[in-house]
Amino acid sequence: MILNCVSNVPKVAILLAAFNGEKFIAEQLKSIFGQILVDVTVFVSVDFSSDSTLDIVNDFVKTESGRIEVLSYGEKYFSAGRNFFRLLVDVDFTPFDYVAFADQDDIWLPNKLSSSISEMKATNSDAYSGNVTAFWPDNRQILIKKDYPQKRYDYLFESAGPGCTFVFNVDLALSIKDILIKKSEKISTLWLHDWFCYSFARHCGYRWHIGSNPLMLYRQHTNNEVGANSGISAILSRIKVVLSGDAYNKVLTQANFIEQDELPVKKIKVNSFLSLLSLSLLAFQCRRDNKDVFLFFIASILMSLKVLVKKNE
C-alpha cells in the first residue's frame, strides 16, 4: 500500500461516535492524540446530547488544529450503531491509509494503532480487531478474549470483537462506504456497525486478523450499550433473544442487506423443524468460542422444537 503522507507514517481517520459523553471523552481524545508512529485525524459525530460533550470536543478543535473535525450537529441517531453508520457514509476516506472506530469513553494505549497496523501488514490482512482489557470504576480488570480461530460462517452471527478495536485499510473502508451509500434507505434496518463491517468484509473475501495483544482499556459502566457481555445473566438473555426469534431476524435482515445466501442463512429462512435442527449441526462452523458453539447448538435445537410445537398446535 502506498502511504498518503510525506513522512511515511500511516494516515488514519478515526471515527468517533459520541452521546452524553462529557465524563470521559476528553480522556479518550487525549489517548487518541497520543498515538505513536501514526498521523491521526479524528472525525466526531455527536448525537444530540443534553450535556457538554459538544463543547468539550470543540475545545479540542481549538487546541488540535487540523487533527479533529466535528460533523454537523443536531440529529438524533438513538444508538451508537446508527451514529457510526453516519460517520462511515459522511467522512471522506480517500486522503487516508486506514480507518478506525473509537468509542467515547475508552483509553487507548499509545501503540494501539501502530501495533494494529503492524499486525495487519505481517498477516497481509485488510482489517484488524483484537482482545481488550475491560476495566471498572473499582479498578477491576479482566481480559476480554476475542481471538478465537475464525470459522467458516462465524461472521453471519457475531462480530470480530469490540468495534473500538477495528482498523480497516482504506480499500475495505471505501467498499463498506459504497454499499451503505447504495442502500442508504435500508441502513436504519441494521443493528450493530461492528458486526455489519465484519460480516461484509468476510463475505466479500477480505482478510481479517484478530489480534491477541490487548491494546486498549475498555471502560465498563451502566451506560455501555453492549459492554463485556459475560456472565450467566448475559447467557440466559442471549438464549431468550434467540427463542424470541429476534436474533434470527437480525441475522436475516443483515444478510439481505449484504446479499448473503450462505448455508446457515438458507436454513434460517426455511424455518422448519428439520432446517433448524440441521442448523445446530453447523454450530462449530458458526461461532468461534466453544461456549458460544454450545449455546448456538442448544438454541438451534430449542428453536427447532418451538417451530415443531407451533406447527402441531
CATH 3.90.550.10 applies to domain 11-219: yes
- Rounded to 5°, angle at Cα 139 from 292 and 141: 25
Cα–Cα distance, 219 to 50 (Å, whole number) = 21
CB atoms within 10 A of CB 224: 15
- What are the sequence ranges of the domains in the chain? 11-219, 232-312
- Asked whether the beta carbons of 29 and 42 are under 8 A apart, the reply is yes
Length of the chain: 313
Cα–Cα distance, 86 to 70 (Å, whole number) = 13
What distances in angstroms separate CA 138 from CA 109, 134, 135, 312, one per listed residue? Answer: 20, 12, 8, 52
Which pLDDT value is given to residue 21?
97
Say which residues have a Cβ less than 8 Å from residue 66's Cβ, sequence separation at least 6. Answer: 41
Task: Give strand pairing partners of 135.
Answer: 141, 219
The whole-chain average pLDDT of the chain stands at 94
Question: Is the torsion defined by CA of 35, 38, 41, 45 positive or negative?
Answer: negative
Nearest to 67 by CA among 44, 49, 90: 44
Cα–Cα distance, 41 to 120 (Å, whole number) = 20
Cα–Cα distance, 265 to 46 (Å, whole number) = 35
pLDDT tens string for the chain (313 positions)?
A: 444 444 689 999 999 999 999 999 999 999 999 999 999 999 999 999 999 999 999 999 999 999 999 999 998 999 999 999 999 999 999 999 999 999 999 999 999 999 999 999 999 999 999 999 999 999 999 999 999 999 999 999 999 999 999 999 999 999 999 999 999 999 999 999 999 999 999 999 999 999 999 999 999 986 555 455 556 777 778 788 888 899 999 999 999 999 999 999 999 999 999 999 999 999 999 999 999 999 999 999 999 999 999 988 7
Hey, what's the cell of 25?
A: 471523552
- Asked whether the beta carbons of 113 and 40 are under 8 A apart, the reply is yes
Locus of grid cell 431476524: 249
Helix or strand holding residue 199 (H, E)? helix 193-203
Write the pLDDT tens digit of every residue in 50-79: 999 999 999 999 999 999 999 999 989 999
- Asked whether the beta carbons of 231 and 144 are under 8 A apart, the reply is no
